[in-house]
Structure 1
């Protein structure tokens, strides 16, 4: 007999699995293109959230393992950003500025997510997670348009990112519905679809 708890577990594992695949694809594409595949602000927010909810306010059950895997994969993505990022910086911007801006953003990401946990009494980190997921969707589009090429990015990455986000959105809509998370989820889906459509245009342009 299929019960509600089974569906929640499936959606939770779906979120974890699809995002793990997303991170692995970003890493593979990054090494192939010798580029980074995750925008800086999104990377800082992601790795800060994953550190907090792995070591400071650890999740329980399977989510604890999932979050740890996300964190470890994001460490590799972080290394790619620090390795390949300076090669893509605009002229006139020093490497010192590049690295310092990254570490400042990382520190403030950590502090803001911690503050949100206490401000909204959200020790699970759900509001920060959905908020930064929306930010990431917008930044992926910005990264694609600013580069004017698919370096570090692919339709596969975009699709698995969308599927992971969709699993989380459905789970929260069914079991932990709030107006804010619902709006954030819808907006994220819209931007994810826009991102996929833009990537398709870039693929066609290269043919």
Structure 2
């Protein structure tokens, strides 16, 4: 049940990111987070696949992240780089993230992907905050992204504690992610109020 809820929350997170990306003509996930997510999902759906149900979930997330990647190519070149240079930079980020995720998995024999999952999640939590600060608006963001991400990560941590022996570092990573996710949720809420936007009506 926990795994189903976790999968649902993260799927909703991706769907709202995609929805807001098209609505605002922007990309709703930082490049580094997108690269690590796509790498993790590909590896644990196709290279070192998890059990049948989780493999389907991982593959679904991978497909959703491909849509976000398309949005990145369409809307993400905000620095005005030449297209070829921008595409090369994105591809380099993807290759680097994939190689690191694969090497960490093999080095620690972490076939569940917990180190890279929680490490990448913490990175995402911090980068969502910096993205919000850099943009100074809610382009590509909504309270539902913040809420579903927070719930998805919290439930994911509970699922790991319930089904697997969890190293101490995962406890600390989970706590750090939760703290940053709460901060992000509060920041999105406050920004919505300041901009006069409907907090709960903006999907």
TM range (shorter): over 0.9
Shift of 1:94: 3.3
Show the counterpart of 1:144: 132
Show the counterpart of 2:97: 109
Show the counterpart of 1:21: 12
The count of corresponding residues between Structure 1 and Structure 2 is 195
Shift of 1:201: 1.5
After superposition, the CA RMSD in angstroms is 1.1
| Distance (Å, rounded) in 2 between the aligned partners of 1:140 and 1:173 | 26
TM-score by length of 2: 0.93
| Distance (Å, rounded) in 2 between the aligned partners of 1:94 and 1:147 | 21
2:77 paired with 1:74: no
Q: Are the equivalent residues in 2 in contact too, given 1:30–1:80 (CA < 8 A)?
A: yes
Show the counterpart of 2:112: 124
Question: Which whole-Å deviations, capped at 9, do the CAs of 1:26-47 have from their partners, x for residues lacking one?
Answer: 1111000011000000000000
Structure 2 residues without counterparts, runs of 5 or longer: 197-203
Question: Which whole-Å deviations, capped at 9, do the CAs of 1:47-81 have from their partners, x for residues lacking one?
Answer: 01111111111111210111111011111011001
Question: Which whole-Å deviations, capped at 9, do the CAs of 1:166-191 have from their partners, x for residues lacking one?
Answer: 00111223332210111110000000
| Distance (Å, rounded) in 1 between the aligned partners of 2:161 and 2:171 | 7
| Distance (Å, rounded) in 2 between the aligned partners of 1:199 and 1:97 | 32
TM-score by length of 1: 0.91
Show the counterpart of 1:199: 188
Question: Which whole-Å deviations, capped at 9, do the CAs of 1:105-129 have from their partners, x for residues lacking one?
Answer: 1001110011011111112211101
Structure 1 residues without counterparts, runs of 5 or longer: 1-9
